[in-house]
Amino acid sequence: MTSQPELFRNSSPNLPDGLRLRTVATEHGLITLTLARSRRRSIGFVIGTEGLRVTAPYWVSLKQIDEAVVEKAEWIQKKLAFWRQRNAVADQAQQSWLACTQLPYLGTTISIDIDTGSKVPRFDGDPFSPQTQDTLWLALPHDATAEQRSAAAAHWLQTQALHYFDLRIHALANSAGLQFQAWRLSRARARWGSCNSNGSIRLNWRLIHFTPDIIDYVIAHELAHLKQMNHSDRFWHQVGIILPDYEAAMQKLKTTDMSALPALQT
């Protein structure tokens, strides 16, 4: 059996008082965990960025805890593998921000760099018609941290999203003779857009990574809800009135996982 890879955030043995590291041998490999005691009535398992944490009642013996880990070993190892991969991707993304990097913007890959002599960010191309050779220059010191670079890029992208989406939502609404109450940016983790019964629309700012046809589709989708607060045939007919030939953009968006987008500080 091989030991569990040390790819978790809190792999140091310097744990807070009341916590202890423990390793359990199972047929699925060694499992290292952080053990905590509490007044809870049963053994609890939590797997996340810092690995496996087991919380057990004071009266449960170590042997019983080990047996519970062995029983759930296959599930535990699958979850640990998922979080190791997620942590590795996050670490890689973090490191990439320490050097010149790239970002998808309106369907094009632009470069990101730092201009230490500038007080505001600048884009050396057409902000609404970017080209692959264009660069976003962040107004940061040369020793800016990865978090500062990421946050500055996210702020610029959100500003561009605010302006670009505003142009498109008014253009599409006007062409279809529709009126909405208001709209704003969203930071939702699992939704590209929404529209409530009061006519207020929210658009996920991360849509700014995508091509204009996908952005138009999401906007048309939410505008159609002004007429049909459902996904009936009448609703999709309304989407087609607002944006003919929307199907290709819809299919492209369906294959996009939000977790695959750049990990930006917001």
Least confident of 85-94, 112-121, 235-244: 85-94
Other CB atoms closer than 10 Å to residue 179's CB: what's the count?
Answer: 10
The chain-wide mean pLDDT, for the chain, equals 88
What residues have CB less than 8 Å from 42, skipping those under 6 apart?
A: 57
The mean pLDDT of 31-43, rounded to a whole number, is: 92
Percent of the chain exceeding pLDDT 90 equals 67
Residue found by looking up tokens 């253009």 in the block:
171
Least confident of 49-53, 136-140, 176-180, 199-203: 49-53
> If we measure between CA atoms, which residue out of 158, 188, 172 comes closest to residue 226?
172
Report CA torsion sign: 35, 41, 47, 50.
negative
CA dihedral 149, 151, 155, 160 (to 10 degrees): 60
What is the reported pLDDT for 205? 96
What is the reported pLDDT for 10? 46
Angle at which helices 62-71 and 73-96 pack, to 10 degrees? 80
Kindly report the pTM of this predicted structure.
0.65
What is the reported pLDDT for 18? 67
Task: Report residue 174's pLDDT band, with 50, 70 and 90 as the boundaries.
Answer: very high
What is the reported pLDDT for 97? 57
Domain spans of the chain, in order of start: 19-95, 101-260
Say which residue, 150 or 216, is predicted with more confidence: 216
Give phi and psi for 149, each to the nearest 5. -65, -45
Task: Report residue 184's pLDDT band, with 50, 70 and 90 as the boundaries.
Answer: very high
What is the reported pLDDT for 199? 93
Say which residue, 261 or 265, is predicted with more confidence: 261
Superfamily (CATH H level) for 101-260: Metalloproteases ("zincins"), catalytic domain (3.30.2010.10)
What is the reported pLDDT for 96? 57
pLDDT at 5 over 70: no
pLDDT at 7 over 70: no
Residue found by looking up tokens 């006519």 in the block:
199
The mean pLDDT of 146-173, rounded to a whole number, is: 94
The mean pLDDT of 41-70, rounded to a whole number, is: 92
